[in-house]
Amino acid sequence: TPFTDDDEQINLEALFLLIDELIDSGADAIAALGSAGECAYLDDDEWALVASQTVQHVKGRVPVIIGISELTTKKSVSRAVYANEIGADAIMVSPFSYYRLSEDEIYDHYAAISAAISIPIMIYNNPATCGVDMSPEFMISMVNEIENATMVKESTGDIQRMRKLHRLSNGAVPFFNGCNYIALDALNAGAAGWCTAAPCLIGDLAKQLLETVEKGEAEKAKELFEQQLPLLEFIVNGGLASTVKAGLEMKGIHAGTARRPLKPLTNEKKQILENILLKLAEVRRI
């Protein structure tokens, strides 16, 4: 989510420019208000503004998925209803918890959200940020039993979970990889797609990887992935929001800095990122 210089307002002009670049580079969908969107650091009005303006600006060119990660079921339902009303195509829901949640509590959380809306729900497992870890068996059971739960995003980085998701549903439940550095293995394990912020910085290279895997071009896919891997690892290790925003600034999109307490990249890390992006720019020109 781009901010103005004073960090007080959403920079809608930069947001629209980024959306257009992503669509022009072949993105299959726009996922707003996820981890890269600093959803946890936006107030209610800002969250609603980004959600509504994203849907309006995309104008049906690709599906729009709105991220929801809230402590309470009440607020999650409220945001889900809002996403439904503004015309989002789906929502991506991750349970966020201060207290340890049981599977019954998580199940009821998703069921309540589903009962309030008419659009698909992507079950998002991201324990590193949300503190809740859902097993493949449990997520598949929710897809089978909860009406609008139709797909899964798995972000633990455990490739065995990807394989289990595919096996448990006989390939019938679409699951998406949310861990950058295992993207190739995840796609080979049957992932339907890759939810990543990388295209914000490298355009269609991520889409090229997906397409080469779909075509069965194993060697080309391996080469493409290895070319992108330094950036994918840097994004993970350098801090997602801070890294992506620094990269966008290098591309001429004024995204501002990540909100405190997150810190911007040091000059040394900016130089490393710039060198990585320059190398990938050469790859795109080949």
Give me the CATH number covering residue 143: 3.20.20.70
pLDDT value at position 148? 99
In a domain, 3, yes or no: no
Residue 23 in any domain: the answer is yes
Model pLDDT, residue 225: 98
Q: Is residue 4 part of a domain?
A: no
> Does the pTM of the predicted model rise above 0.85?
yes
Quote the domain boundaries for residue 222.
12-285
| Residues linked to residue 90 through DSSP beta bridges, in sequence order | 65
The tokens for 125 are 């497992």
Cα 31 to Cα 64, 137, 187, distances in angstroms: 6, 25, 19
| 244 is a domain residue | yes
Q: What is the pLDDT of residue 65?
A: 99
The count of structural domains within the chain is 1
Judge whether 1 lies within some domain: no
Residue 6 placed within a domain: no
Q: List the pLDDT tens digit at each of the 286 positions of the chain.
A: 999 987 679 999 999 999 999 999 999 999 999 999 999 999 999 999 999 999 999 999 999 999 999 999 999 999 999 999 999 999 999 998 889 999 999 999 999 999 999 999 999 999 988 889 999 999 999 999 999 999 999 999 999 999 999 999 999 999 999 999 999 999 999 999 999 999 999 999 999 999 999 999 999 999 999 999 999 999 989 899 999 999 999 999 999 999 999 999 999 999 999 999 999 998 876 5
Cis peptide before 199 (omega within 30 of 0): no
HSE of 235 in the Cβ direction (CA atoms, 13 Å)? 25
pLDDT at 254: 94
Q: Is 81 contained in some domain?
A: yes
Decide if 2 is inside a domain.
no
Count CA atoms within 13 Å of residue 115 on its CB side: 8
pLDDT at 7: 67
